[in-house]
Every structure is written in structure tokens, then in C-alpha cells.
Amino acid sequence: MPDSAAAASAKSDAAAAVAWLEAFGDALSRQDAGAAASLFLEEGHWRDILAFTWHIRTFSGTAAIREELARRLDAVRPSNFSLAKDRTPPRRVKRAGQESLEVLFDFRTAVGQGQGVVRLVPDPDGSGDLRAWTLMTALHGLKEHPERLSAARAGGDAFAREFGGANWQDHRDRARAYADREPAVVVVGAGQAGLAIAARLNALGVDTLLVEKNQRVGDNWRSRYHSLTLHNEVYVNHLPYMPFPPTWPVYIPKDMLANWFEFYVEAMELNCWTDTALVGGDHDAATGTWTLNLESGDGTKRVVRPRHVIFATGVSAIPVIPDLPGLDSFQGTVMHSGSYTDGKGWKGKRALVIGTGNSAHDVAQDLQASGADVTMVQRNPSYIVSLAEAQKVYALYDEGPPLDDCDLLAASFPFPVLRRSYQLSTAEMKRVDAELLAGLEARGFKLDFGEGETGFQMKYMQRGGGYYFNVGCSDLIVSGDIGLLHDENIECFNEAGAVLDDGTTHAADLIVLATGYLNQQETVRTWLNDRIADRIGPVWGFNDGGELRNMWCRTPQPGLWFTAGSLAQCRIFSRYLALQIKACEEGLLSPEMC
């Protein structure tokens, strides 16, 4: 398209976007929920992240949208809907197979500033009017409690010239010690989830203590298997406020990431106690505080009493050790994949790797490369996709908009649209990988493309695993360099290995259990108590509304919160979790809602 035509088209798109926003804002200002809902397609979707509902919820269909708006408009008082300043302008895109005009916008509510995304499509009635296919409204900040950034940052230049007084290091040491105060928030776990939420809370002025059971921040990555690198690209994987240097590799090695985490704690002035484990605790409903028992590696005990506890122990905190008949009689070495480091000591030995997810494949490939004779045991069908193809689900981050805009767009997809998008991308990956998949099936490998063929992203959000990004192990299975057994062909285990259904024994020196991890509900059961675990219910996986259960939101247990997921998920949703806690601290949310 010639430049003049492109400019005219962009101007026309911007005018259309402004017209829709003005009509929507006018309807809301008049508290006319019906008029506002009429600006949607009949089957349109509205995802709200705190701005109207103080929850993360999706409403589908104009009747549901109208009903929810009617409930909320008087208290929320939304206003000033306008194109987002200094953001990506309205543009034509294709999402989940649907052509639309994608618009980033700003607005205000009674308590803060909002940001949103609307995708406009022509009304099917042929009138030419644009209707909202999807709308997302998100609370971005609290107007009376902004993030302490730039000139508003904590301390300003106060530490530069305190002659004869405490310097910056003195202040940091005192803040970290908690000798004279209690933290408002304790975050359990200093991986990407814990660091992201601690940084967000710190920027909002909420006194936050991180506790990390390992000796050093980053050890949750540093101690994992020797060959591990991230399976998605660096462009997606930044932490809040501090993007990775542009010199970093596309796929980040585990130790590089671990060292960055350690640096991040210091650079972001986060209060962190390492070598410190949560060993028990309970909540006092009368005072609204927790009593948490902490213990350091040298046996030192400490009790802290925060108002909020955030479990940031990840989707993979407590290993699942399956009860396999006869395994306790095996005379070789048994370990969970979380304890596996490298295959150097297993050259010339025989290894069984039980499981066919990412960790199982990586462990098997590492053992094979180290000279071990490796066989994988498939317990359930798995989704296999080549690494390059898998990155296509993150294509949004390669379209050109800056990271903050991409994050807003990524959060804007309601579940039905997200599901359809994953179905389309999975079908394309399946087509491109057809030769590899056929080779695996010929070897007897059982394939699965997810519920409704929605692929690995939905598998991850539903169960935290069940897929593999092929970086070579699938090819080794196809070639026969790595063997394959099926769980149903193993009768039991004995002192020498796996007893098969034909009566033979598949001998082994090492058995690696790549069998996954327990739900975070069980983490709570282990570190707090059954009563609280039963009260909150499952964590992770989708609820009836298509949102992750108990994640980044208020839970049935007041003062208990969860965060987990990829670096991108932690970066995006840490903002919304931090805003809820700040709102609780400032009385914007009632105590029973916190």
C-alpha cells in the first residue's frame, strides 16, 4: 500500500476507534448499561481485570455484559475513554482467525487509571457500524497510590549526602533485618514469581519480605539439570522494571537466569532472607494476621506476623513420587527428575526415564549424550512440537509493539478466543511437524494434542505439563537411539529393573521419575494445614469462567494469595496481584475481601 494510502487508512481506523470509545464512554457516563452492551457483537466478550469488578472475570454475550455493567457503573464511575497515549495506534490484525481493528485505550475509574484493549469488527447486520468482538478493561494504577518511580521513587537523593548519618547500605541492612517491625507481606519463594510480585509491591510502598529455602536466590534454577535452557525466547521472558540486556542469547541458560535473579534482588532493593524455610503457620481471623514459623539452615527460628502471605513456589514445588509396585526393591538408583543434574556418572549404564514431558525428554537426551543406554517409559500420551514451531504462540511479541503493549494485548484475550487461537496454532504446528510426528507414531509413541486439540499452552495451564518442545530427543526416539516402553507393559519392578508383561526384566542401573509435581493446594497442606488447604480448593487449572483457579486473585482464605507460571505470566499478572494487596492495605477493598 502506498504511504499516502496507508496514512489515510490509519487515520480512518483511528477515527473509527475514537468514535466507538466515545460512544461507549458516553453510555457508561449515563449509566446506560443497555446502550453500552449494544456496542458489542451479540456473542462478544468482556474480560475485566480489577477495573470494574475487583476480580479477573469474563462475561460473554450482550445480556451478561449488560447485567454486569448495570451492577458496577454506579460505584466504578468509569470515564475519559480515549486512545492510549504513546502506545501502539489502532491497527488491523487477525486474532484467532478473525480480522479486527485492535485498539489500545486509556480510561479512569473512581479509584484509579485503567488501560484496555478493544477489537472491533463490522456489525453482521451490514450497517457498516463497528461492534466490539472482545473488550478488556484492566486497572493499571491507583490514583492516590502511584508506583514509586522516577521522581516519586523511594528516598529520591536522600542517601547521597547524609554526612555523619546512616548511608544507603545501613538503610538496606535495617530494612532487611525486620528487627523493629513486621512485614505487611511475606512471599514464599524467590523464583520468577516471587521476585516479580515483590518488586511490584516494593514499588507500591508495601513492606514485603521474600523467604527462599535455598542458599542463594536463583538456586531453584541453578540446581537443575546441567543442560537446561529456557524453552521460550528471551523477548518474552523479562521481569518487571528491568528487561534483560539486548546482548542475551535467544534461549537463556539456567545459570545465566539464576545469576540475574540474584542481581535483581539487589538492584530492585528487595528484602530477602535466603536459606530460610516456612515450616508452619496459621491465620488469625480476629486480627487479620498470620503467624508464620520460619527456620534457617543453621536452625535459627523466627516468627513473623504479616497480613498477607503469597505462595510463589511455582507449579512445580513438591515432586510427585508415584507408588510403583516393587520399586522399593530396586537395587539401583532412583531419583526424581527435579534432583537430576547431569549424566556424566552414567556412561555405559542403563537408565529408565519414567515420563514423557519436557523434563523427561531433556533428561533422557542428556543421559544418552553422556553415553548411557536410555529407555523412556510412556505413561500417558504427550503433545510433541518442534521448538521453533512452539514459539509461534508468542508471535504477538514479534509483531513490533513494545513489551508493555504486548503484555496488555496478551492479557486481553478472553478464554473462548484464546482457546480458538490455540486450536489454530496447534493445527499449523501439527501440519509443519507431520514427518516427525509420523516417525514417533511408527515407533509406538502415543501422541496427544490437548483437550479440543488446543496444544501445549492449554496443557500447561490445565495441568502444568504433558508436552515436549523437541530439541532433538524425539529424533533419537524415532531413530531408536533412545528406547521406548509403555507403562501398561510393565508389571512391576524388582531388584534389577522393570518386569515386563512377557516375564522378562528390562534391566536398569538408574530410574528417573519425571512424574511431575503436586498442585499448590498440596503445598499449602504441607506448609500450613489441612483446614486452609481444603478451604481454598485446587490452585491452577481453569475454573468455570475460564480463569486460572486461585491465581493472582483473592482466595477463599483471607490474606492468602498465589502466583506462578512463566516469566511472562509472572510479569503481567504481578501488577494486578500487587494492586489488590495495595487496595487492601489502603482500605479500598473491605477486610472480608482481602
Q: Is the pLDDT of residue 496 over 70?
A: yes
> 594 or 99: which carries more pLDDT confidence?
99
- pLDDT of res. 168: 86
Q: Which residues contact 106 (CB under 8 A, 6 or more apart)?
A: 80, 81, 82, 83, 84, 85, 113, 114, 115, 116
Above 60 in pLDDT, residue 154? no
List, for residues 415-426, the tens digit of each pLDDT value.
999 999 999 999
Residue 155 has pLDDT above 60, yes or no: no
Q: 25 φ, ψ to 5°?
A: -65, -40
Residue 162 has pLDDT above 80, yes or no: no
Report which of residues 456 and 150 the model is more confident about: 456
The pLDDT > 70 percentage for the chain reads 97
Q: Which residues, including other chains, have CB under 8 Å from residue 398's CB and lie 6 or more apart?
A: 235
Cα 458 to Cα 193, 395, 415, distances in angstroms:
20, 16, 10
Contact status, residue 81 vs residue 105, Cβ threshold 8 Å: yes
- Residue 409 corresponds to which cell in the numbers above? 494485548
Q: Which of the 8 DSSP states describes residue 61?
A: S
3-state helix, strand, coil in the chain (%, to 5): 35, 25, 35
pLDDT over 90 (residue 219): yes
- Cβ-proximal residues to 247 (8 Å cutoff; 6+ apart), any chain: none
The mean pLDDT value for 454-478 works out to 94
Res 1: pLDDT? 56
Report pTM: 0.95
Residue 6 has pLDDT above 90, yes or no: no
* pLDDT tens digit sequence for 299-334: 999 999 999 999 999 866 789 999 999 999 999 999
Domains of the chain by range and CATH? 3-142 (3.10.450.50), 173-317+519-593 (3.50.50.60), 327-513 (3.50.50.60)
Whether residue 158 is predicted with pLDDT greater than 60 in this model: the reply is no
Supply the pLDDT for residue 260. 98
User: Average pLDDT, whole number, for the chain?
Assistant: 94
Distances (CA, A) of 487 to 128, 325, 381: 58, 12, 11
> 157 or 78, which is more confident?
78
> Quick one: cell of 361?
525428554
pLDDT recorded at residue 153:
64
Query: Per-residue pLDDT for 157 more than 80?
Result: no
pLDDT at 592: 79
Residue 2 is predicted with a pLDDT of 62
Give CA–CA dist 60/227, Å, rounded: 45
Q: How far is it, in rounded angstroms, from Cα 548 to Cα 57?
A: 10
Residue 160 pLDDT greater than 90, yes or no: no
Residue 454 banded pLDDT, cuts 50, 70, 90 = very high
Position 110 pLDDT exceeds 80: yes
Cα Rg of the chain (Å, integer): 26
Answer whether residue 215 shows pLDDT above 90: yes
List the grid coordinates of 206: 508495601
pLDDT category of residue 519 using cuts at 50, 70 and 90: confident
Residues 242-265: pLDDT tens digits?
999 999 999 999 999 999 999 999
Q: Cα(first)–Cα(last) distance of the chain, in Å?
A: 53
Q: Of 586, 591, 562, 582, which Cα lies nearest the Cα of 194?
A: 562
Q: Write out pLDDT tens, residues 7-57.
A: 888 899 999 999 999 999 999 999 999 999 999 999 999 999 999 999 999
d(CA 150, CA 474): 49
Which H, E and C letters describe 113-172, residue by residue? EEEEEEEEEECCCCCCCEEEEEEEEEEEEECCECCCCHHHCCCCCCCCCCCCCCCHHHHH
